[in-house]
Every structure is written in C-alpha cells, then in structure tokens.
Structure 1
Amino acid sequence: MNHGFVKVAAATPKIQVAGCKYNADRIIEIIEKAENNQVKVLVFPELCLTGYTCGELFLQDTLLNSALEQLGRIVEFTLGKDVLVTLGVPVCTEGKLYNTAAMIQNGQLLGLVPKKNLPNYSEFYEARYFNPGHEKTEVILVNGKKVPMGTNLLFRCANLPSLTIGIEICEDLWVPEPPSVRHAMAGATVILNLSASDETTGKDRYRFDLIKMQSARLVCGYIYADAGEGESTTDLVFAGHNLIAENGNILKQSKRFENEFIFSELDVQKLMNERRRMTTFTHTSFQEYEIIEFRYRLSDPLPETKLTRFIDRAPFVPGVKEDRDRRCEEIIHIQAYGLKKRLEHTCAKNAVIAISGGLDSTLALLVTCKAFDLLQLDRKGIITVTMPCFGTTDRTYQNALSLAEHLGTTLMEIPIQEAVLLHFKDIGQDKDKHDITYENSQARERTQIIMDLANKYNGFVIGTGDMSELALGWATYNGDHMSMYGVNSSVPKTLVRYLVSYFAETAEEESLKDVLFDILDTPVSPELLPPVEGLISQKTEDIVGPYELHDFYMYYILRFGFTPSKIYRLAVIAFDGIYDKEVILKWLKVFYRRFFSQQFKRSCLPDGPKVGSVAVSPRGDLRMPSDASAALWLEDLNNIK
C-alpha cells in the first residue's frame, strides 16, 4: 500500500437462487482467494447471498433467516483477515425489508448501507418487496449485535485515511442524482457498487461509459460488481459485467457471461492529489454522515503492493493509432488556431522561422503553413531561414531546403560562420574551445538574425522549442528560448515525433512524405558542435538523457505531483527491459536538478498555446519560483536502495 496503491477486486460468485448456504460457501471461497492475493477491498453483487431474482421468496422468513445465519458465518470467517468485504443481503428491521450492502472486516459487521433508489419499472419490481433506504443512521440488531444502518455511512481506513469508502447499490448510480455524488463531496475516494444489472443488447456499453464518467466526475475509484450466472433466467439473463475504474479510466473489466474475479490497484494518493489540484472539487462536511473506521495490519514502512495495472511509458501519446491520429489532428488545430489569432491581432502578413532540418522546427513550420492557409495568406509570406554554421550536417541542411521548397515558403540561406567568428574575436573566445560559449553564441546569432528579419519584413518570429526542452532548460537563454509566439511550447518531445509523422502520413505529395520521414529518422541534435566524418556528433539524448524517460517524469511530476520515489517505482515497471534501474534513477536525478535550476528560463517564456493537461507556462500551469531548492526531491531519490 506504499505510495497509495490499494489492491481491490470485484467478484461474481456462481449462486443458487435462494440457496443461502451454497452461496455463502462460494463467497467464502472467493474471500479466501482475495486474502491470499492481498486484496484489501472486495466487492460482491447485489443480494448475492440470496440471489437477486428470488421474487416473492423475499417475503418468506425461511429465506431471510437463512440469509442472516449465513451472513454471520461469513463475518466469523473473516476474523483475522485484512480484506474488507462488501456483499448484498436482505435485512428486515421494524417490519420493513431493505436491500443492503453489508460491510465486513476482521470478524466484524461494520455497517449496513441500504439501497436508496428502488426501480419499479419494466422488468424491475423491487418496491414490491423492499423499502428505500433512509439517510439517517439508526442502530439495528443483526444476529444479536448492534450494527449501524443508513445510506450516509462512510468507511475510512484509520491507518490509510486517503482510503474512504462510500456505497451505492445498482439503480442508485442510474438516477439523476446518485448518492455517490454526496459520498464523494463528504470525503469518499472510492465508491463501491453492488449491482444486479440484467443484460440487454447494448447495455454493456452504456454501463461501461456510465461508470467511467462517474469516476471521472467524482475523481474517485469506482468498483462495480454485477450479478451473473446462477440468477434465475425465467425472464432475465445476468452477465457478471464487473468493472474497476479510476478517475475516468477503466483499469479492468470482466468478460461478460463468465462470472469472473477481477482485481487491480487503485491509486488513492493520486485521487487525493487530483482533488487538491482541482479547486472546484469542493469538500462538504455533511453533519448527517457517520464515519466508521476500520484498520489494516500494516507494517512500517508500508508494504509495497505488487502492481498489475497498466503503466503507460508514453503517457502523452495514445497507444491506439486511431486515438493517436485524432489527438494529433486536434493538437495541430489548437496550435494553428492559436497562431492564426496572434497573426490577425498583430496584422502580420509575414512570419519568420528558423529551420534546421530537425523535428521541432519542422513541426513549427508545418503548423505555420496551416495557420497561413486558414488566413488565406500566401505561403510565400512564411520566411524560412536556414543558418548553417559549424555543426550543420549535409543531411539536415538538405532536408531544411527541401522542406521549405515543398511547402512553398520563401527560403533564405544565411551562413553565420563569419559573424560568429567575428563575435568570438570581439569577446576573446578561442574558436577551438568547444564550450558553452562556443555553442550559445551560434544560437543567439541565429535568434538575432530572425528577429531583425521580422523587423525588416514586418513579420513575426515563430518559436520552435518544445515543452520537454523547456522542462529541462535545454534552450539557450535569449537564443532559441525566445520568439514572438511559441507554437510547440506545450508539446512534449515524444509527441512532436508523432505529430510530424501524422503530417507525413496524410501528406498528398510523395516527395514531401520522403523528406518528413527522413527528418523523423534523424537523431535529435542542436548541431552546435562540428560533425564527425559528416555525421552528427552532438546527440541531445546522450547529454541530457532519453526524452521518453524525461516525458514520463514530467507527466507525473507536473500532472499529479507524485513523489520522486513513486515516479521512480512507476518508471522501473513501465520501462522494464528497456532501461535498467540505475539508468532510470540517474536520469531522474538529472531531470530534477535541471527542472529546478532552469526555472528562470520558463519564467519569461513567450506566449504559446496549451494543448494538453500539462504545460509549463509561467502564466498558467507552472507558477514556480526561479530560486526554489530541489534538495527535498533529491533527498527522496537518494534514499532509494
């Protein structure tokens, strides 16, 4: 449970209608399985102890008494076990029958939550037998022991308070105002739903979307356990469609018609972090709620839950091509429309952009062309400037020329060797000393040229740097760091590649495709050091580390505020077989050191459009002091063994 991961499960036992002992046996078998698999929260379907389809048998004392007897047996079986069990059972009190969820742990019946919304339409006749649950908690006797019952019960783990559980039952989710809304606002981070949802054509998709979106709206974990095989098929069929969701993501779902036991891990720490970030997610203290505490047997430090959930090593890039293409098209539109507005506002008819034959400048140029097309401006107004110097290779130079030609822009070639050498002479820099001054002098010379060209042609300088470079500070201050509008400023490097690839795949001209694919195949480099035998000698990822790692780190640092040790743990799983632990730790330390030390560059960034859930604009997502210390974060990493 270290880092907030809680293993949870939803299970559909094969039952016998009205066969309480048989059903209890199956439930006990699954509880044993869950305990052996270190499951901490286990959810069974609605009325699974009797069967949901008992009909008039719910009015028989024989059935109700047997259900309570078997409930007591299950409670006793959990003695000494950690797993928190929730199962459906009919309970009668004061002459009224309720469809309830029983919460059980370590030999104790913690509470009963009755169903609030009883469907009595189409195939459902629950109001014929049951009474709607009441919000006010009352204490009733169950098997001779006092037990709280009411819809406003929340169950909180005393030694992991971020795990607070609310319960609703089947139809409660399908109404306009589900109880889970109030539960979440009162502090519940995980919602359990015990359900008996019969299967009809297309209902599974609706159910899937409903649970997915409810978990997103409430920023919660949602565990849904559905009735399945064993229920009466007199008029209905139940498919056991179990789902586990977390904040809009389905972590696991069962195959229908197979009565599965599914499990995954909810990240309750992540949910709390997300709620903390969202100031519109309000916590309301409802006085009528009662908090019932339970406790796990946890060691210090907390045990490390083995993770089975999928951890995407490219969180910025959708894994399915159809989704990825849709994302690329959307981002390109955001970039282009942002630039279109800025060009309109400044009345600029020309744009100036430095092209290197690399990925970032290629994407920026492609976006600029789209913006000009939207404005119905001649692409000749896009002044593409190639400025070869000491590190320029023939491959990137030729690609830059070809790209400008195929896109129909105005190409200017301005070699800068002489200007840089004169500058070296002015400042006393040895031209054979390939240090940071040697490199940055070239970058600043290029920026000076395109800024002055923008003045000359009443134009507008388009920035090319991407978000990954900005996060690492891999930009020359007042060099490529500066522009009049940075179209790539919130696009991570891993996504830049796919955006250029999308342009290549959708390009109509074959020769343009060829150029773009060759650019995609070129190593990432600022080309500020002389080539070796005509090949790029300065590869960015050899210096600052692999961008796929840095983008992974950046996502979890900026999006969720995870601790360094948690990010390291996730990275080790995500990049298993690609990078060893030592490499992952090395570059994570590099990321933190650079991220903190280079904030001053981000504090004065040019404008640029936000395209995703993570951005580094000092006016938006990252209002961070430039002189903050990284010591706490690096200390956490230094404690990793």
Structure 2
Amino acid sequence: MSSTLKVALAQIDLMVGDVDANVSKVIVFAQRARDELQADLVVFPELTLTGYPPEDLLMRRSFLGWVDQGLKQVCAAVQGIDVILGLPLCGDDGLHNGAAVIRDGEVIASYYKHLLPNYSVFDEKRYFTPGHEACVYDCKGTKVGLTLCEDIWQPGPAAASAAAGADILINLNASPYHRKKQVERMMVLDQRVVELGLPIVYVNCVGGQDELVFDGQSMVVASDGLPVLMAPPFEENLSVVTIDAQMKGEAWEPRQGDEELAVFYKALVTGVRDYVNKNGFPGVLLGLSGGIDSALTLAIAVDALGADRVNAVMMPSRYTADMSQDDAAEQARLMGVDYRSIPIKPAFDAFLQMLAPSFEGLPVDSTEENIQARCRGILLMALSNKSGRMVLTTGNKSEMSVGYATLYGDMAGGFAPLKDVSKLMVYALSRYRNTLSPVIPERVITRPPSAELSEDQKDSDSLPEYEVLDPILERFIELDESVDDIIAAGFDAHEEYRQMKKIEAIVKPFKLDDVREALTEVGFSGMTVTEVKGFGRQKGHTELYRGAEYVVDFLPKVKLEIVVDDASVDACLEAIQSAARTGKIGDGKIFVSTVEQAIRIRTGERDNEAV
C-alpha cells in the first residue's frame, strides 16, 4: 500500500423489508461520511437495502424490483464518495448475497458472497447461489478487496482477494450477538491478518430483528492483528479511520465483570425496543409478581421504551405474600410506570367450582397451580387486546428449559426478553441494573424464588438449586455435553433421573454361588435365578429338520436377573464377569436392557424407590 485511504464505517440499524427506510438511512450516512468526515469510502453492513434476514421476501420478484429501485436511488443521491453496500444481486446462475461498489452514480464493481451459512439461525442456501470470484477494485491508489460476513471466517475468500492484489480487506456483516461473539470475531480477524498481513475493515449492523439482536462493534484491525478502532455496541455509529502501511493497533482485552454485563443488558434492551417499535406496538404490559424475573423484565422494558409505554399488573392470589405485593408496588413507583392490582381469587374460585364434579376424589396437584397461571394469562391478554399493548412474558431460560412454566399461563405473550437468560444471570443483571439506579428492591434479589402457586412454595421444591441447575444446563445446551459427560465432570445423577437397567447373566450352575457372592460384595443382593439351557460345544446329538441334519449341543445354565440404576451397571457387570469366568468355552453371556417401569409388590414403591 503506497497511499492512505480514509474509510468510514457506517454501523446502522436496518429494517427488514423496508427498502425505502434503509435507502434513506444509507443516503444520510453516506453524505455525512463525505461532508463531516471527508472520507474517501463509506462501508455499510451486509444486505443493507433489505435488512437481515430478509428470508422469503427474496422469493418475491416485486421485492427484488424494489431493491433495484433503491440501488438506483442511492446512485443518484450520493456523489463524491465511494459507497460499498450489501444487497441481493441477480447473476446468470441465480440470486446472490452481494455487495456493490458505487462511485458517482454508477455501480463500478460487485461481489458475490462465497460461503453461505446454513446453520443455527442462518438459512442462506435456501435463497442464494454462492459466488466464486474475488473482487478487488482501486480506490485512490489502494486496492480494496471485498468479502461478506461468513467469508472472513474461513481462509479461502480472503486469500483469493489477497492473491488478486488487495491492499486491504473489507468485510460487510450481519452478525448476531451472543456473549462470546466479539472474542470469537477478534480471534478470526487476527487469524486472517496473520495469514495475509492485510488490515481488515469489519462493518456490522445493529438492532433487533425478531429473536436476533445485532451488536455492531464494527472495527478496523491493523496488519499487526490489533484493533485500531472499535465502534460501540448496540448504537448506530459513523466513524472514520485513515488506513496506511504504518497503521498500528492497540492491545485489546475482552470485557469482564460489570462491563460484560452492561453489554448483555444493552442486548436485552435493544431486543425489546426494536421488536416493539418495528412491529408498531404502542407499548407493553407485563405481570409484576414481586419476584426477580418480572422485576428485571420491567426494568428492561422501561429502559427500552420509557415509563409511559409500560404497564405493570399485579395479580395476587391467596398464596401471594404481602411482601410480594409491597415490592411490586415499590418497584412500579421507582420506575414511574402505570400500576394496577387485579386479584385472581374470583376467577380461580370460579374455575374450581366449575371443575369440582370432574375433580371429585382426586388429589390437589399442579393442575390447580396451573389454573392460577392461566387466570393471569387471560387477564393480561384481555388488557392487551383493549389497549393494543403487547404482553411481555417473564420466564427465564432455566425454568423454560426444564418445563417449569405453564402453557397458556406465564408463557402467554408476544415477546420473551429473558428466554435465553439463565436464572443466575437474571440475578447478576438485576444487581448490575441497580448500580445504574436502584430500581429493583433489594428484598426481591435476596429472598428465595417462588412461583407462589401453593402454600409456602419455593422453586427448590421442584428444581435443584439454580447454582446446580444452571451449570448443568449450560453444559447440556451450550456445550452439547451428554449426560455421561456432565456426571463425569462432577455433577451427581439425581435418583429421579437415573434410568433403571435390567442385567441378565447366563452362567454355569457351579458358578452361581461365586456370582452371588461377588454381587453381594459390591452391594447388590436382590436377584432372580432361573434355570435355562445354554448353547455349548460339547458333544451333542444329531437331529433332522426339514430333511437337513444339525447338531444340538445343550448345556445346563442358570440365568440371573437383577435390576439396578444405570450408575451401577458397570460395577455389576464387572462383578458378574469376574466371578463367572473360567476361561473355557461356554462361560455364558450378559445382557443389559432398559426398564421402563418397576413396582415393588409388597410396598407399592415404584421405579428407583422400588429398585
């Protein structure tokens, strides 16, 4: 690189499907980059004109025509600066996820994305044809190579641009947020820099789109692998960097502690704000129970929309503690939201009366608890229908993952801000939010969590402590570990969740006492012994079957049956095998099968208790 190049990064919030709104924003930011920052080039995110992900809108010819008109509008409105933006482009072999380079009213170069992600939330192979050619163009003496999002995560497309003479790499992105994403990006960009020795301009969008939220954090990484610039998370931003051969980056450390929590909290606020606003809801309402989940949800909603667009509803029952009602009212006051209390006792009692003939003689169980949750769901949806405001549900990831929720009850609503937030993280985020201003009463954070659907109920009555449950769920869901992996990592297998196994061992009769003794030594004394016939290879006799001769060699054997939980299978197998082995042919066999149900006849105990 023999010259310098001023590159502007336009980190913008896009509206999926609203081409006119996206075009207007592109024009404003491009003109600002030219007039305020004196940039030579401005770069926008992936699929700038459509928003991401456009999904099946891409199958509508009318929509693609709208995109084409939008591109012409940008070309006509922006002069005196190169513009690189993302859009679907039609090629001879199909539709491509593309990037266009606009200069003084014309598209002077274009690029088709090579690597189409088709995993997790991505489904690009459904719509797009992959490209195969590099695109490098000259901008004031600097050779600029283009890539799109996934292209930078593998070495091939970037290497192709370098081989075509690129001095810098431009990477347009629509990269969704997760807590470890920025660290992953830095590792990938550093790897590409190490391979190629070229600086990289990485531009990402911001904003929420349904269940996805885009964090921005656009950056420029120098040829030493260190960031020169990093845009703020979850904010629209226009920044500029002068790129030259001597450009050096600065050391970067991942955010930790409250800094990491601040970004996570912004993600939740952004998701709620954009879902509500982009779908045209005038506001939201939620059930405020006096518990930690609804308390955090209320704080997020107010920070996203303002207090005037949030309604909180307390719906007490006979099991709702006075402190819950007091804490809910206090938080509503602190946050300045409209607050009302609507007791569910009349509705709950009416349902119990209607169901009394059907429930006669049956014990009280979770059915009655769920009726209370569904009474609340009916009230919230009625208020939603009348006001037009959307219901926010308040369930967290830990509860939802293990089914500790009520269908048509606390699950009823239009958006679930905490659906991917564990219970322990709910507490951490609540404490963090209170460092900004104390809006969640301390007692809400410190008291044991309870659904308050029965007398003296606590979450721990039905679930492991969250300090145990959440790490297990993280390993199972996030890290894809098996149950055996999790147990091997030091977590105990709870009796209720162990499978029962039946072990059948067919052994020689004179080995029976040895096997019994071996099993007793390792703690298994209950077994059934049945005489059977086993196949051996000692001299037998010949029989005829449909005209053919065959040799029948029967040896007397005994079969032992024992039922154990799956954590004990290996010890049991080792004991039997060791005791029954003679080293000669005909020692026998061992079979293991799963037991679906067990009942102890004398006591009526079932399953693991029976075992």
Shared fold by TM > 0.5?
Answer: no
Higher relative contact order at CA 8 Å, sep ≥6: structure 1 or structure 2? 1
TM-score (norm 1): 0.38
Q: Which has the larger radius of gyration?
A: 2
Which is strand-richer, 1 or 2? 2
